[in-house]
Amino acid sequence: AQSVTQLDSQVPVFEEAPVELRCNYSSSVSVYLFWYVQYPNQGLQLLLKYLSGSTLVKGINGFEAEFNKSQTSFHLRKPSVHISDTAEYFCAVSPLGGGKLIFGQGTELSVKP
């Protein structure tokens, strides 16, 4: 079985500041890792994913994430945030070969001017 823990439920940050959203996971098998973003009253949009290879993954909107196998983490970062990045961010895992996604509880990123 897999589980995902997002360590911060809310992250307030000022515009143009850097941000890190933390994600830890637990799994007895190898997994794929994902970050999704959800804007109010909308579905989820894929930001980035780690399947294999380089542990630093770049996604859309200037986000990147680093897979750390020893610490079972997949933290999301952005060097300079914009007001438009205000949204809910979800970390998720799925077992290799596909299957259902297991999500964390989400981190609400609030970017203030």
Partner 1 sequence: DTGVSQDPRHKITKRGQNVTFRCDPISEHNRLYWYRQTLGQGPEFLTYFQNEAQLEKSRLLSDRFSAERPKGSFSTLEIQRTEQGDSAMYLCASRVTDTQYFGPGTRLTVL
**Which spans of this chain sit near partner 1 (rule: CB under 8 A)?**
4, 32, 34, 36, 41-46, 49, 51, 90, 92, 94, 98, 100-106
Question: Please, what is the minimum distance in Å from the beta carbon of residue 24 to partner 1?
Answer: 14
Question: Please, what is the minimum distance in Å from the beta carbon of residue 100 to partner 1?
Answer: 4
Question: Please, what is the minimum distance in Å from the beta carbon of residue 16 to partner 1?
Answer: 28
Quick one: residue 74, left, alpha or beta (phi over 0 = left, psi -120 to 50 = alpha)? beta
Question: Please, what is the minimum distance in Å from the beta carbon of residue 19 to partner 1?
Answer: 19
Closest by CA to 64, choosing from 52, 50, 51, is: 50
In contact, 11 and 111? CB cutoff 8 Å: no
- Of 48 and 111, which CB lies nearer to partner 1 in the complex structure? 48
- Of 26 and 45, which CB lies nearer to partner 1 in the complex structure? 45
- Of 13 and 101, which CB lies nearer to partner 1 in the complex structure? 101
Residues with Cβ within 8 Å of residue 10, at least 6 apart in sequence = 107, 108, 110
Cα 42 to Cα 20: distance, rounded to the nearest angstrom: 23
